[in-house]
Amino acid sequence: MSKQIQELDKKLWVSPSLLELGHRLFEEIEPRDSMYRVSSFLVGTLKDKPFEDNSIWISDAVLVLLLTWHNAFFRYGTPDNFHNNFKDFLKENEFLLLKTTEIAKDKARNIFEKLLNILSIRTGTKKKQIRKSGVGVVKTLHLLRPDFFPLVDNFIAKTYFEKSNVDLSKFETYWTFKTLVDNQYEWMLKQFDIGEELKIKNLL
């Protein structure tokens, strides 16, 4: 474990009671929870046949989540040829994202960077400026694999890294964050029985 991660680790422990309180308060104030639950349901339903149904594809579930949960970015436009590009991406990485438990760092990097390009949008005069969103990538990966990819946004990153200018489009930044969260999770497993003591289905 790197020195940076070790130093940050020490500052990030929370008690079971504080964790549960934060979770309960978040559920009370988050107005977009219905969107997340519906998108998660659709992804779970379509995992075995992501592109067989002619009316609803798994890419529709992902796009619904992005357009509502990350509308600050995608209000400027939607990714070019998104459904076909996402279909090809998922076919190429179907085993990793839908059928296995662990994903090695080099494989995760490849997935992250490919999805970063797929989710890019064109903005500005004559749509010549390309904008990319690491947050959009992570939200998509979390929707596909909520047990492996923890969510992050600028507010969360600022808290974990203790600075405001965190570049979430960089894979190494996200992997450092994921390592911190994984360490927290392992520590919590040792401290209390998550299944019985906490009413949180997915700690990530």
Neighbour-count burial of 112, counting CB atoms closer than 10 A to its CB (0-12 exposed, 13-18 middle, 19+ buried): buried
Mean pLDDT of the chain: 82
Q: Is residue 110 situated within a structural domain? A: yes
**Burial code of 34-58, b = ≥16 C-beta within 10 A, e = fewer?**
eebeebbebbeebeeebbeeeeebb
Provide the pLDDT confidence category of residue 136 given band limits of 50, 70 and 90: very high
Report residue 121: phi and psi, to 5°. Answer: -125, 160
Q: Is residue 145 situated within a structural domain? A: yes
Q: Determine the pLDDT at residue 116.
A: 95
Range of the domain at 26: 14-197
Q: Is residue 68 situated within a structural domain? A: yes
Greater confidence (7 vs 50) lies with 50
- Average pLDDT on 148-163 reads 88
Closest CA to 97 of 84, 87, 88, 108: 108
- For the stretch 77-106, pLDDT in tens is 889 999 899 989 998 998 888 888 889 999
Q: Is residue 53 situated within a structural domain? A: yes
Which tokens sit at 203?
A: 């700690």
pLDDT above 90 covers what percent of the chain?
27
**Number of domains comprising the chain:** 1
Q: Determine the pLDDT at residue 92.
A: 92
- Taking a C-beta distance cutoff of 8 angstroms, is the pair 136, 66 a contact? yes
Q: Is residue 162 situated within a structural domain? A: yes
Q: Is residue 203 situated within a structural domain? A: no
Provide the pLDDT confidence category of residue 117 given band limits of 50, 70 and 90: very high
Q: Determine the pLDDT at residue 184.
A: 80
Spell out the long-range contacts of 146-153 with Cβ–Cβ below 8 A and sequence spacing 24 or more: 146/40, 146/202, 146/204, 147/101, 147/202, 147/204, 148/101, 148/102, 148/103, 148/204, 149/178, 149/204, 150/177, 150/178, 150/181, 150/182, 150/204, 151/204, 152/177
The yes-or-no verdict on residue 57 having pLDDT over 80 is: yes
Q: Is residue 27 situated within a structural domain? A: yes
Q: Is residue 3 situated within a structural domain? A: no
